[in-house]
Structure formats: structure tokens, C-alpha cells
Amino acid sequence: MVWFKSMGEFDLIERCFVGKGGGPSPFTLLGIGDDASLHQLEAGMELVVSSDSSLAGVHWPVDLPLEIGADRAICSALSDLAAMGAEPLCCWLNVMAESSDAVVQMGAGATAALKRHGVELVGGDTTRALCNALSVTVAGKLPKATAMRRDQGLIDDKIWILGRVGFHRAGLQQWFDGQKEGCFMSDFHRIEPLLTAAVQLREQGVRCCMDVSDGLLQDAMHLASASSMGMEIELSLLPDWQQLVAELGEESAIHYAAYGGEDYALLFTAPASMYFDGAACIGHCSAEAGVRASLNHKTIEIEKAGYDHFK
């Protein structure tokens, strides 16, 4: 293992981050190498910014390769841009690492994800720490007054989901069970933010959306509360529901789909007159506050909403 004393901080930055990730963007006037980055947004556009943190042992198992963990961290942050319908522009990355070897591994995973999605790395920080972690800030753009927001849902809207839920949680369980070749492992290893699809939703006129990161029902509650309405969700309408049941059994399928997180599907609402290829309509919005879930039209008692860092 190569320790910090063997490779200096600035050597690590040069080796792992400078010129990595996606290519330069006209948005960036000055990137890595100064005290801060400089940017300029064209007229008629709004800037969308999100910040996220990922820690080994909290957001991914401590025995997961650091490259995979860092790749997931970048994609998790980019999914916040997708939730708003933003086109990604750039990323600032802070790396906290136990050793220089950990910096190299997390740098490789993070920059691979940025390159895959064409996102420029424009700055950040690298420091030694007692655990391996990343803090990721991403920026995107969209035309003024078009952002998809949680508070724009309307009573009588239909509820749609783009992407699958429950599959990441099933893969995580296979990892904990030592089934490293399990059928859900690819869902666990790779997070793919639905960036292109989200822009298309925005362009179609969707105005209410969020990504499912902490569990379908918990995130639905956030959306319903922000829009001052209720939501009625039918689990059997979820994408690939029957596959989940066939592999896990109905009880685990319900638990993983309703409460499992980090699938980063897009949950959105739209008027009943609208239709979306590739997405599934899973319910409707109502005047009665709260979220109610059913399976084959039988009500499911909600005992736990989803992931909470402090519970």
C-alpha cells in the first residue's frame, strides 16, 4: 500500500484528478489549478446545484471495492440533477481517504463515472481522514422556469415511475449474504442516473419529479407533502414487479420495493392526459394527505417509510 508520506497531496491531485472526467465545457472559464473555479451561464438558463456525501460503511459496505463506491457516489449526486431535469455541466469533488492508495482507487472510480456521463471535474479537495468518504457537488443547467420540482404536483395527477425500485436493495442483501455472483449484483454495483430521460420528461412538460434514493414510500411522502396532496400507489404496477416476486417472494419484494433505496428511479406526476413511453403509471394523486400503498388493490400497512441516517 502507498501511504501519503510516499506520495504528496499535490502529486495525488495531479495523478488522479487533473484532466480527468468529462471534457471541458463552455460553462467553465477556469477549472482545477486555482483557488476556485470560474463559470459563466448563457442567457435564459438557470443553474442547478446539488451536494451529496458518501461514506464507506454508511453508503456502501466497507468491503466493497473503493472504485465502485466512488463511482456510485458520483452517480448518486448526478441523479439529483436528473430529478430536476437538468443537463449536467461540472463537478467539484472532495476526497477524504485513509491512505494515498485509497485516494487513487476512489479517484479512478469517480473520474470514470464523470467521463461516462460527460461531466467536467472543475475542483475540489483531497485530505487524509479516519475513514474513506467523498463529498460531491454537481452543477447543471436548464431553461428558466422549467425545473421539475417536488412542489408542483396537482390533485388528480397520475403518478409515474421511470426505472425500477427494490433491485438495489436485493443486491445489497446478496452482498451481505456472500452471494457475490447473485442475480441482483449489477443493480447494486452500478447506479445510473437517468439524465437523458429526465431532460426528455422536462421537455414533455413534466413539472413535478424527484429521484427515489431513500425508499419509494418515503420519497413519495416527501413529494406529496411538498405538493400538499396525497398519493395512492399500487405496487403491482411497478416495473418488473413480477420478476422481483419470482426471485424474492412476495414479502421481501414488498419490503425491498417499498422501503429499499438507491435505485434512483424517477418518481413524477403529470396530468391524466399525458403518456410516457418506458415509464409505468403506478397510481394517482388525491386530496387526502399522506401516501397509501396497496398490492392488488389490498391496502398495505406502512410501518417504516425508508432510510434515515439517524434512526
CATH of the domain at 289: 3.90.650.10
Q: Which of 106, 124, 143 is the last residue of a domain?
A: 143
Phi and psi at residue 96, to the nearest 5° = -115, 120
Shared domain check, 255 and 274 = yes
What is the total count of domains within the chain? Answer: 2
pLDDT of residue 21: 78
Shared domain check, 201 and 98 = no
Shared domain check, 127 and 66 = yes
CB atoms within 10 A of CB 160: 22
pLDDT of residue 306: 56
Asked, for residue 131, whether it belongs to a domain, the answer is yes
Asked, for residue 264, whether it belongs to a domain, the answer is yes
Asked, for residue 250, whether it belongs to a domain, the answer is yes
d(CA 225, CA 220): 8
Q: List the pLDDT tens digit at each of the 311 positions of the chain.
A: 344 445 666 677 777 787 677 888 899 999 988 899 999 999 999 999 999 999 999 999 999 999 999 999 999 999 999 999 999 999 999 999 999 999 999 999 999 999 999 999 999 999 999 999 999 999 999 999 999 999 999 999 999 999 999 999 999 999 999 999 999 999 999 999 999 999 999 999 999 999 999 999 999 999 999 999 999 999 999 999 999 999 999 999 999 999 998 999 999 999 999 999 999 999 999 999 999 999 999 999 876 655 555 45
Those residues whose C-beta lies under 8 Å from the C-beta of residue 310, and which sit 6 or more positions away, are none
DSSP letters, the chain, are ---TTTS-HHHHHHHHTTT-BSPP-TTEEE-BTBSS-EE-PPTTEEEEEEEEEEEBTTTB-TTS-HHHHHHHHHHHHHHHHHHHTPEEEEEEEEEEESSHHHHHHHHHHHHHHHHHTT-EEEEEEEEE-SS-EEEEEEEEEEETT---BGGG--TTPEEEEES-SSHHHHHHHHHHTT-TT-TTHHHHH-----HHHHHHHHHHT--EEEE-SS-HHHHHHHHHHHTT-EEEEEGGGSTTHHHHHHHH-HHHHHHHHHH-----PEEEEE-TT---TT-EEEEEEESS-EEEEEETTEEE-----S--TT-
pLDDT of residue 307: 55
Asked, for residue 233, whether it belongs to a domain, the answer is yes
CATH of residue 126: 3.30.1330.10
CB atoms within 10 A of CB 42: 8
At residue 118's C-alpha, the angle toward residues 117 and 119, to 5°, is 95
Shared domain check, 133 and 246 = no
d(CA 297, CA 299): 6
pLDDT of residue 8: 67
pLDDT of residue 1: 36
| C-alpha 35 chain-centroid distance | 29
d(CA 132, CA 31): 25
pLDDT of residue 4: 43
Shared domain check, 276 and 159 = yes
pLDDT of residue 28: 94
Shared domain check, 196 and 132 = no
Shared domain check, 173 and 294 = yes
Shared domain check, 281 and 155 = yes
| C-alpha 151 chain-centroid distance | 19
Shared domain check, 160 and 139 = no
The residue type found at 172 is L
Domain encompassing residue 70: 9-143
CB atoms within 10 A of CB 242: 10
Phi-psi map region of 213: left, alpha, beta (phi>0 left; psi -120 to 50 alpha): alpha
Q: Which of 127, 143, 159 is the last residue of a domain?
A: 143
**The pTM is what?**
0.92
Q: Which of 100, 128, 143 is the last residue of a domain?
A: 143
d(CA 205, CA 217): 24
| 138: nearest Cα among 63, 200, 202, 211 | 211
Shared domain check, 295 and 159 = yes
Shared domain check, 157 and 90 = no
